[in-house]
Amino acid sequence: MTAETAAPAVAAVVLGTRASALARAQTERVAESLRQAWPEIDCRTRPIATRGDRTQASGVPLPTIGGKGLFTAELERALRAGTIDLAVHSLKDLPTEESPGIALGAVCLREDVRDCLVAREGHSLRGLPPGAIVGTSSLRRAAQLLGLRHDLDVRSIRGNVDTRVRKVQDGEFDAVVLAAAGVLRLGLEGAVTEWLETDTMLPAPGQGALGVQCRADDERVLTLLAAIDDPGARAETTAERVFLRALGAGCTAPVGARAQALESDVRVRMEALVASPDGRQVVRVAGEGEAAELGERLAREALAAGAGEILEAIRGDQPLVGRRIVLTRPRDQVGELAEALERLGATVLAMPLVDIEPIEDARSLDVALARLEAYRWLVFTSANGVAGLRERLGEKALPAATRVAAVGPATAEAVRTLGVEAAFVPDRFAAEEIAAGLGPLQGVRILLPQADIASPSLAVELRSRGALVDAVAAYRTVAIEPSLHDVSELQRGVDAIVIASGSAARSLVASRVGNLVLGATVVCIGPKTAQAAREVGLPVGLVADEATSEGIIDALTSQFLRSPSVESP
C-alpha cells in the first residue's frame, strides 16, 4: 500500500445497522469490503433498534405517518452523537432529501435490482389462480401487480424477508413479492418461483444498492468510504433518486425507476413510471443523459403526462373515511394513534378496557434494582414495564455491563428514556425468538420486569435454556368497565375494535359491551395478543404484523382501503 493510498489514522470504525438478519448481513458485506480496501482496519458492528418498517401503510399519505425516514432517524442520531462512524442502509430506504450534517459516503454492492415472486405450488405470476392472495409491503409493487392482474387480491404484508416467506409456506398468503437482492443476501433464492424482469415490474429507486452514511465533516471516514464507492451504482441510483425527489412523491408512492450506467459511468439510460394504486393509470417515461439531469428531465416529462394528478390523488386519499374504530388502550396511551387514525378519516372512540397502575408492593422490584449489576440482561416486554422500572429506579443509571432487550420498536423507543439503546429487538414477539436472540444462556442472570398478570411463557422459555430469571411485577393491570356513554356509542355501530393486550381482550369479553362488538373487525396488535383474544372467544379478524401503532394503522388501511377491482376480506 503506497503512501497515497494508506489508510487514514482510524484504528477502528463502528458500523451502525438495524437489527434484522438482512440488515446485519448487508452490514457485514460492507465491513468485508472495507477490510479488503484497508487491511489494517478494525470493523465493529453495533445494532440499533429503529422504528423502521412500521410506517409503510398501504395507501396512507407520507406526511401522515412520516414515511421511510423512520428507517434511518435513529442511525443518523447515533452518527451525530458519535456512537457510530458509519450507518449502512438499503439505499431504497433512505429519503432522497439530504440530512443535515450527514453525507452519503458510499453507494456500493448493487445486486440484482429485480423483484421476485415466492408462491405456493411453484406458481408464476401469470399462473396464479384468480383471487389469489398476494402480499406486498410496497404500493409500487401493488400498483404494478394490479396493472398486470386485476383479478388478484393484493394485501399488505409486514415483517422481515423470512417471515414473509414463512407466511406463504403456512398458507396465510398464496404469494409474496420481494426485492431480489434481499432474498439473495439471505440465501433464500431456493424459495423463489419467478424472477420478475424489469419489463414486468420496475424496481424502486435505489433498489439493490447499499448506501453508507457518515458524518459530513469526518474526512477520515469519507476517505475510507471512497475506496468502496461504486461510480456506476452511484450514477444509476442518482438518476433514480433525483427522479423520485423531483416528483415530490416520497418513498411510499407507486414510483418505479431503473437506470443503467453507460460506459462512462456518468451517463445513464433510465426508464421510470408513476402508477395509480389500482394500476389502472400508468405514466411511463424513458431517456438517456447525465444522471442528475436525466432524473430531473424525466420527472418533468412524467408530471406533464399526468403523474402529478396521480400523486395528488394519493396525497389526498383518506382510506378510513366513515369508519368507526374503537381503541381500548389506557387513555394516556391512545393520543398519537387516535390522531393518526382521525387524519385518515376515521371516527375514533376511546374506550379503555384496562388501566395501568403502580404495583402496591414494590419490594421484589426494589430488591432486584438494588443488585442490577448482577444481571447480564434486562428484558422488557412492554413500554409499561420500562415506565414502572424507571419510576422505582429514580436517578440511578443502568450498569454499563447490563444489556437491554426490548420486544418491539415501541418498547425499544421507551428504553431510550433510560439513557441506553436496546441491544436486541426480535423480529417478532415470541418467547423462543427472544430467548434465541440473547445468545447462550446457561447460568446467565436475567431480570424480567413485567405486569402483575403477565404470562409466564417467556420466563419458562428462558429458564429452559439455563438462564437464572427473576420475573418481577413492575406495574399492575386493572380492568375497567365501559361507561354508559361507551355503551351508547357502541350501539350506534363500529367497524373495528383494536385490542392491544391479552388483558384488554379478557376485559372486553367480561364486560357489559362484549356482545355489542361482535359484528366489528377485531384487530390485534400482534400474534401474542391475538392468541389471548381467541382463547377468550373473540373472532380475530386482523393481526398487525408489527406490534406497534403504525402496524395497527397498516392493518386497518389494508382492510378498509378498497379499489374497484379488489375487495378486502
% of residues, the chain, pLDDT over 70: 89
pLDDT band at 60 (very low <50, low <70, confident <90, very high): very low
Q: Is 93 a catalytic residue?
A: yes
- Whether the CB-CB separation of 115 and 241 falls below 8 Å is answered with no
261-270, 439-448, 516-525: least confidently modelled range: 516-525
| The dihedral formed by the CA atoms of 401, 407, 408 and 414, expressed in degrees to the nearest 10 | -50
**R_g over Cα of the chain:** 25
* CA trace torsion 257, 260, 261, 262 (10° rounding): -130
**pLDDT surpassing 60 at residue 535:** yes
The lowest-confidence range among 68-77, 323-332, 405-414, 453-462 is 68-77
DSSP β-ladder status, 210-215 and 102-108:
antiparallel
pLDDT surpassing 70 at residue 331: no
555 has a pLDDT exceeding 80:
yes
Which range among 42-56, 144-158, 182-196, 244-258 has the greatest average pLDDT?
182-196
Q: SS3 helix, strand, coil % of the chain, rounded to 5?
A: 40, 20, 40
What does the pLDDT read at residue 347?
Answer: 87
**C-alpha cell belonging to residue 547:** 406490534
The answer for residues whose C-beta is within 8 angstroms of residue 194's C-beta and 6 or more apart is 116, 117, 119, 123, 124, 125
Provide mean pLDDT across the span 241-259: 87
Whole-number pLDDT of residue 51: 54
Catalytic, out of 53, 85, 93, 218:
93
Distance (Å, whole) CA 375 – CA 409: 23
Cα(501)–Cα(328) distance, integer angstroms: 9
All structural domains of the chain: 9-110+207-229 (3.40.190.10), 115-196 (3.40.190.10), 324-353+483-560 (3.40.50.10090), 357-479 (3.40.50.10090)
pTM (2 decimals)?
A: 0.62
Q: Is the dihedral of CA 145, 146, 149, 151 positive or negative?
A: positive
Banded pLDDT at 429 (limits 50, 70, 90): low
Asked whether the beta carbons of 156 and 137 are under 8 A apart, the reply is yes
Please check the confidence at residue 58 and state whether its pLDDT lies above 60.
no
